Structure 1
Amino acid sequence: MSSEPVSRAEQRRRTEARILAAARRLFAEVGYDRATVRAIATEAETDPGLVMRYFGSKDQLFAQASGFEAEELITGTPAQAAEQLLLALEHKLAATPIDALAAIRSMFTHPDATAEVRSAMVSRQQQAAQHLAGDDADLRAGLIGALTIGVVIGRHLLRFDGLADADPERITALLRAAVHDIAHGPAAPS
């Protein structure tokens, strides 16, 4: 039995995919400083020279490996926006967000990672704020963002007792009232 020969372009695509996957895993596990090009190449079962050839530098590889996945746009009323943000959090809790964790773990030691995380979070915050009530929607969107990143870090990186093994739906159920209160703005005095 013979298989079809694989083209050079396909070989390159597969090697790049292996390198990118290995880089994501290592940046997420050990951060930018400790994830060396040699370790990434070993993990990807390739030569370190190919890592540099395909990605140019460790910084450029990091930029691709830690790119946040595009998230659905927030739409609708403050109540609908709150539910969409809770659903996005639930997805981040259900499956380990390797791209985001690579950036988050590395942001404490690498300025480019800090800028990457900040840029992604601010963009998401500004978009969400358009669908929250009140004059201080930017502040409230920032609070929901901080809550989200804190829960993701607590679950996936710090592995807090209870949070690390909790059902994602249970976590969002416990946060639902708080997220809705923040999304709707201050309640009228009684």
Structure 2
Amino acid sequence: MSDSLSHPSRAQQRRNTQARILTEARRLFAESGYDRTTIRAVAAAAQVDPGLVMHYYGNKERLFARATQGEAPSLPGGTPEQVAEQLLDHLRQSLTEEPIGSLAVLRSMLTHPEAAHEFRDTSRGYKDRISAAIPDEEANLRADVVSAALIGIVIGRHLIKLDYLADADPQEIVDILRPCVRSLMKLDTPLADHE
């Protein structure tokens, strides 16, 4: 085995350390929220000195921003029916694979104004697409209600861990929610292939 395979370069060691710090920061922000997560706690979890966390990320606010930065979900589009199904597919995925970066923002946004502001900003485009798909003069309000329902289900499953919701099959949750989403989006006729 060559030395390059058995001993990572300094640059690779740095990237590994930064990745470990971000992983632990995401986990702690999701578990404890912004206010209760400290640089020291992140450093201890990542098994590094707190000064190293500060060196790489500057302060807790910048660490939070990096830890919660993620790929934005693709914006829904198409017919109103397609948008409704895309929303439900995205929910199914969020219920199946715990979205740790999103959970860190969701837990933190109630006590950290910047997290709430970031969440509103990043979700605005998503909500606008939902609104555009709703054939109703109250489309903006309806889009907000749909968004709040989907967010509430993710919070209930992953953060609050409501008894039945935490253990339910994601497809079953989506099937229960589908008529509600369709009704809110003024698509009152059920889709035959989902019944």
Q: TM-score, normalised by structure 1?
A: 0.92
Q: 2: distance between equivalents of 1:127 and 1:68?
A: 20
Q: Which residue of 2 aligns with 1:110?
A: 112
Residue number in structure 2 paired with 1:65: 67
The answer to whether the Cα contact below 8 Å between 1:81 and 1:132 also exists between their aligned partners in 2 is no
Displacement after TM superposition at 1:68 (Å): 4.6
Correspondence for 2:159 among 157, 160, 173: 157
For structure 2, the residue ranges without an aligned partner over 5 or more in a row are 190-195
Q: Which moved more, 1:152-161 or 1:133-142?
A: 133-142
Distance 2:188 2:121 in 1: 28
Cα distance, 1:120 vs structure 2: 2.2
TM-score (norm 2): 0.89
CA deviations on 1:90-110 (whole Å, 9 max, x unpaired) are 111111111111111111211
* Deviations 1:43-85, CA, capped at 9 Å, x for gaps: 1111111111111111001011123531022111111100000
Distance 2:3 2:168 in 1: 46
Instruction: Give the 5 Å matches for 1:128-143.
Output: 128-143=130-145
Give secondary structure in 2 for the equivalent of 1:115: helix
Counterpart Cα distance in 2 of 1:64 and 1:15: 14
Cα distance between partner residues in 2 of 1:168 and 1:186? 23
Query: Which of 60, 73, 76 is the equivalent residue of 1:74?
Result: 76
Task: Report the count of equivalent residues.
Answer: 187
CA distance in 1, matches of 2:74, 2:113: 27
CA contact (8 A) 2:84 2:181 kept: yes
CA RMSD of aligned residues (A): 1.7
- The ranges of structure 1 where at least 4 consecutive aligned residues each deviate by more than 3 angstroms after the TM superposition are none
User: Which residue number corresponds to residue 181 of structure 1?
Assistant: 183
C-alpha distance in 2 between matches for 1:60 and 1:6: 27
Match runs of 1:24-103 below 5 Å? 24-103=26-105
Task: Report the AA paired with residue 50 of structure 1.
Answer: L
Instruction: Note if contact 1:154-1:163 (Cα within 8 Å) is conserved in structure 2.
Output: yes
In 2, Cα distance between the equivalents of 1:9 and 1:128? 43
Identity of aligned residues (%): 50
Higher helix share: 2
Aligned to 1:166: 168
